[in-house]
Amino acid sequence: MNALHANELLRVEGLSKTFTLHLHGGARLPVLHGVSFTVAAGECVVLAGPSGVGKSSILKMALGNYLVGEGRILVADGERVIDLARADAREILDARRRIIGYVSQFLRVIPRIGAIDIVAAAAQESGLDRAAARERAASLLARLGLPERLWSLPPATFSGGEQQRVNIARGFAGRHRLLILDEPTASLDAANRQAVIDLIAERKARGTGFLATFHDEDVRLRVADRVVDVSRFSDREAA
């Protein structure tokens, strides 16, 4: 049954993932099985568990970046429901454009494009015109404390924290209903962490749902509405 409850943005059901390493004689590496949880509009669901348990893998499957082994990933698209586990490339690209936003752990650097243009491009993709997109980009970068003199520079030479702030701004620049955040505050100082917490709170108030991992317990406590302990789905041998 491909139905979601009224407020649900994302429902993961019976998700499993196993890697097959052909370069190591076809060794199979089971990671997760039976993962199930939901994310509703306006709530932030945090995935918790020890390093290497598969939290990132779940996020990547929700994005279509990793293939799903078994299970369903249902996403609300207005009246429709899409199963990302079965969607084709075109549908996933469309979902990423309109519904699901992503803040990755590392900024993949695009040569020669200035920080503000990277963020503005994301805003434009979601439908804003050039001027409005640029304004939005500027306001996000300002909130995240990125010095204005850096805005026109390509982020390749930025520090880790500066790059991450560009990443976050880009993720928040659009109008996605569901935002996936993979360790967004890892390289940030206290002030910038607070800015991110505030941004999340604002978007939650507007109905955006969040699926995230936070290595920082303090931040987790402040933003999470629910915590899902991924280790109960783990296939890894107990330590």
Binding site for another protein (CB under 8 A): 20-23, 60, 64-67, 89-90, 92-94, 110-113, 121
- Residue closer to another protein (CB basis): 6 or 131: 131
Residue 234 and residue 32 in contact, taking contact as beta carbons nearer than 8 Å: yes
Q: At closest approach, how far in Å is the CB of 40 from another protein?
A: 27
- Residue closer to another protein (CB basis): 64 or 171: 64
In angstroms, the CA 237 to CA 239 distance is 6
- Residue closer to another protein (CB basis): 11 or 17: 17
- Residue closer to another protein (CB basis): 88 or 237: 88
Q: Compute φ and ψ for 17, nearest 5 degrees.
A: -145, 130
- Residue closer to another protein (CB basis): 78 or 111: 111
In angstroms, the CA 16 to CA 235 distance is 9
Q: At closest approach, how far in Å is the CB of 231 from another protein?
A: 22
Q: At closest approach, how far in Å is the CB of 89 from another protein?
A: 5
Q: Compute φ and ψ for 29, nearest 5 degrees.
A: -125, 90
- Residue closer to another protein (CB basis): 42 or 69: 69
Q: At closest approach, how far in Å is the CB of 72 from another protein?
A: 17
Closest to 125 (Cα-Cα) out of 137, 135, 133, 113: 133
In angstroms, the CA 147 to CA 205 distance is 28
Q: At closest approach, how far in Å is the CB of 228 from another protein?
A: 22
In angstroms, the CA 93 to CA 96 distance is 5
Structure tokens at 230: 């991924």
Residue 157 and residue 79 in contact, taking contact as beta carbons nearer than 8 Å: no
Three-state SS annotation for 168-212: HHHHHCCCCCEEEEECCCCCCCHHHHHHHHHHHHHHHHCCCEEEE
Residue 145 and residue 192 in contact, taking contact as beta carbons nearer than 8 Å: yes
Q: At closest approach, how far in Å is the CB of 22 from another protein?
A: 4
